[in-house]
């Protein structure tokens, strides 16, 4: 298997894993919000405890997704750099 093919397969698996983690986090927040809705009826107004809990859940989700996306970008950057260096070494030693 060529380094490029291995990178493509690895990148695809990484993207799939991160996408699955993000979807799982979103589903957990949806379930949490359903629980909040069942416990705290909507009484109107924007500053009640229900609204604060929901806003906090969305902020938490944004942080989780942002963190996993940043991690994926960092891993892909490091992998790309390492493979580029490896390709350069292979090319220079083949000459």
pTM, to two decimals: 0.56
Give residues with Cβ within 8 angstroms of 41, minimum separation 6.
50
Q: What is the mean pLDDT of the chain?
A: 79
| CA 71 to each of CA 3, 16, 17, 18, 40: distance values in angstroms, whole numbers, following the listed order | 22, 13, 12, 9, 35
**1 pLDDT higher than 60:** no
pLDDT recorded at residue 2? 55
pLDDT recorded at residue 36? 83
């Amino acid at each position: 298997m060529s380094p490029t093919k291995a990178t493509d397969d690895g990148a695809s698996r990484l993207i799939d894993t991160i996408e699955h983690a993000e979807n799982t986090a979103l589903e957990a927040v949806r379930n949490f919000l359903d629980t909040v809705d069942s416990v705290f009826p909507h009484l109107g107004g924007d500053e009640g405890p229900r609204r604060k809990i929901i806003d906090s859940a969305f902020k938490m989700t944004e942080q989780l997704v942002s963190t996993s996306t940043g991690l994926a970008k960092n891993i892909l950057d490091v992998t790309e750099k390492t493979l580029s260096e490896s390709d350069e070494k292979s090319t220079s030693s083949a000459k």
